[in-house]
């Protein structure tokens, strides 16, 4: 499970990352609001820990912008300001939990676990895009009612694409989400998986849905890649 820590204090960021890593989570960090926003907007994370006071923008602004573009990832906001007014602003910007510094790490973990439980699937058992339907419980994929057999990685990749339709997904975010690792720039693992997925999901049908965005990644779209 991957988390993002947006925190400009190197010591605090390192402490949180170390503690979460020891708990078995994969953790990325960003030291400012703009980088954090761009990383969070990929949809590659199950939870975001966001400091309220960042060098380039307020955490509430980052949070509000993420919610505005449709990012529903749980956000835990950290702040040294414990006043009620600041807490209300944080929650109204879209944060799920507001935690005041200093805090015990056990308290942070308790909030994280509660947020993750809250965000666990009460979701529909199926996902769909155009004429593709994914049954999450049975792990079955159909297109135009044709059953399509996929490998585990192909299924995970298609699920990630369907959860993020009409959005360009970078090779980095795909590698982290589907393979849970950092891939070398010259690795063709993603390209091979995309190629086999296209042969099964796209090639037999009139409308191609999986498109390459040159130099960036891939997009699931009826219209094709952005111009």
Q: What is the dihedral of CA 57, 67, 110, 22, to 10 degrees?
A: -70
Taking the C-alpha atoms of residue 82 and residue 99, their distance in angstroms, rounded to an integer, is 8
Task: Using pLDDT thresholds of 50, 70 and 90, give the confidence band for residue 27.
Answer: very high
Task: Using pLDDT thresholds of 50, 70 and 90, give the confidence band for residue 98.
Answer: confident
| Other CB atoms within 10 A of residue 151 CB | 12
CATH of 126-220, one of 1.10.10.10, 3.10.20.30, 3.40.50.720, 3.60.20.10: 1.10.10.10
Task: Using pLDDT thresholds of 50, 70 and 90, give the confidence band for residue 105.
Answer: very high
Q: Helices marked H in the chain — which ranges? A: 10-22, 33-40, 59-68, 84-92, 105-118, 152-163, 171-174, 189-201
Task: Using pLDDT thresholds of 50, 70 and 90, give the confidence band for residue 102.
Answer: confident
Checking if the pLDDT of 178 tops 60, the result is: yes
Q: Top-level CATH class of 2-118?
A: alpha beta
CA 11, distance to chain mean position in Å, is 25
Which residues face 148 on adjacent strands? 141
pLDDT score, position 217: 92
This prediction has a pTM of 0.55
What is the percentage of the chain residues whose pLDDT exceeds 90? 61
Checking if the pLDDT of 177 tops 60, the result is: yes
Task: Using pLDDT thresholds of 50, 70 and 90, give the confidence band for residue 136.
Answer: confident
Taking the C-alpha atoms of residue 129 and residue 127, their distance in angstroms, rounded to an integer, is 7
| Other CB atoms within 10 A of residue 92 CB | 11
Task: Using pLDDT thresholds of 50, 70 and 90, give the confidence band for residue 36.
Answer: very high
Whether residue 79 contacts residue 98, with contact meaning beta carbons closer than 8 Å, is answered with yes
For the chain, give every residue range classified as CATH 3.40.50.2300. 2-118
pLDDT score, position 181: 64
For the chain, give every residue range classified as CATH 1.10.10.10. 126-220
Checking if the pLDDT of 6 tops 80, the result is: yes
Whether residue 218 contacts residue 170, with contact meaning beta carbons closer than 8 Å, is answered with no
pLDDT score, position 84: 67
Q: pLDDT by residue (tens digit) across 40-94?
A: 998 889 999 999 999 999 999 999 999 888 888 899 999 887 666 777 777 788 8
């Amino acid at each position: 499970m991957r988390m993002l820590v947006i925190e400009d204090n190197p010591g605090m960021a390192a402490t949180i990352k170390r503690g979460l890593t020891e708990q078995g989570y994969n953790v990325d960090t960003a030291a400012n609001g703009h980088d954090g926003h761009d990383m969070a907007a990929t949809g590659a994370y199950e939870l975001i820990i966001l400091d309220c006071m960042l060098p380039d923008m307020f955490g509430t602004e980052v949070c509000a912008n993420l919610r505005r573009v449709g990012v529903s990832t749980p956000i835990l906001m950290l702040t040294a300001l414990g006043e009620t007014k600041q807490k209300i602003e944080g929650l109204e910007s879209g944060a799920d939990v507001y935690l005041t510094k200093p805090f015990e790490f056990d308290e942070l973990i308790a909030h994280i676990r509660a947020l993750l439980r809250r965000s666990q699937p009460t979701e529909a058992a199926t996902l769909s895009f155009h004429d593709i339907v994914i049954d999450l419980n049975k792990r079955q994929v159909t297109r135009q009612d044709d059953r399509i057999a996929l490998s585990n990685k192909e299924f995970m990749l298609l699920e990630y694409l369907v959860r993020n339709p009409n959005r360009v997904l970078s090779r980095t975010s795909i590698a982290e989400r589907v393979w849970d690792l950092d891939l070398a720039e010259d690795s063709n693992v993603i390209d091979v998986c995309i190629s086999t997925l296209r042969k099964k999901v796209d090639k037999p049908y009139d409308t191609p849905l999986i498109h390459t965005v040159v130099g960036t990644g891939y997009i699931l779209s009826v219209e094709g890649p952005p111009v």
